[in-house]
């Protein structure tokens, strides 16, 4: 009986926290600008040069290695240095397969996300420009309070967090969130270079799934 009461108390407390956070959003919705994952990662990990660990450029001198985000890549490619490699450099997967665009195009997308209260629930609405026309994307949530950092579908289920960009490279997506993100979290845009979404998983990072944009609450 005590265990039942304890569990019921925890569930009630969790519901109260979600309600309180949603109520705060009703008064002041949370709006964030996405930044490139390359810039975010390089700043957070204090890289000497800004780089992108999720895509690769050709370099005949590069050996087979494991990149700065733990992504293994074949010989002949390496993570690009944003201020060093040419903007027109074609980008590739960790297996050396062409992604079909250059570094400038990869870094070009912009986006905003707003989290507000609707009907007592936390609702996310995001819009993007500069995406690959017809490209497949998903929104995932970073959990920086987990070691290693965890990732879950933004909607908590993997049912409504994926979308396809329009022919002009724009996209708008909305979904109900399981909780209100804090500084322990972030909204992450994942590009699926295989054209497939992967449900509860992001995919094979650097191979068929690539972190492109990120927005983290303060």
Q: Judge whether residue 201 has pLDDT over 60.
A: yes
In this predicted structure, what is the pLDDT of residue 22?
58
Q: Which domains does the chain have, with CATH numbers?
A: 2-33+109-215 (2.60.40), 54-108 (no CATH)
Secondary structure of the chain in HEC code, one letter for each residue: CHHHHHHHHHHHHHHHHHHHHHHHHHHCCEEEECEEHHHHHHHHCCCCCCECCCCEEECCCCCCEECCCCCEECCCEECCECCCCCCCCEEECCCCCEEEEEHHHHHCCEEEEEEEEECCEEEEEEEEECCCCCCEEEEEEEECCCCCCEEEECCCCCCCCEEECCCCCCEEEEEECCCCCCCCEEEEEEEECCCCCCCCCCCCECCCEEEEEEECCC
Could you give the percent of the chain with pLDDT greater than 90?
87
124-176, pLDDT tens digit by residue?
999 999 999 999 999 999 999 999 999 999 999 999 999 999 999 999 999 99
């Amino acid at each position: 009986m005590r265990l039942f009461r304890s569990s019921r108390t925890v569930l009630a407390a969790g519901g109260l926290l979600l309600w309180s956070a949603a109520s705060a959003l009703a008064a002041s919705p949370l709006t964030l600008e996405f930044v490139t994952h390359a810039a975010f990662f390089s700043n957070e990990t204090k890289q000497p040069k800004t780089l992108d660990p999720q895509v690769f450029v050709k370099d005949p001198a590069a050996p087979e290695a494991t990149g700065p985000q733990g992504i293994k890549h074949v010989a002949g490619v390496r993570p690009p240095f944003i201020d060093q490699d040419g903007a027109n450099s074609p980008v590739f997967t960790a297996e050396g397969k062409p992604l079909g665009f250059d570094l400038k195009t990869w870094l070009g997308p912009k986006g905003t996300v707003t989290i507000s209260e609707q009907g007592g629930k936390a609702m996310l609405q995001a819009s993007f420009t500069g995406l690959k026309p017809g490209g497949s994307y998903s929104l995932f949530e970073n959990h920086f309070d987990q070691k290693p950092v965890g990732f879950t579908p933004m909607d908590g289920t993997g049912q409504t967090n994926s979308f396809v960009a329009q022919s002009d490279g724009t996209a708008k997506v909305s979904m109900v969130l399981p909780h209100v993100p804090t500084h322990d979290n972030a909204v992450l845009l994942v590009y699926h270079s295989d054209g497939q979404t992967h449900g509860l998983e992001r995919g094979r990072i650097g191979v068929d799934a690539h972190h492109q944009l990120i927005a983290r609450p303060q």
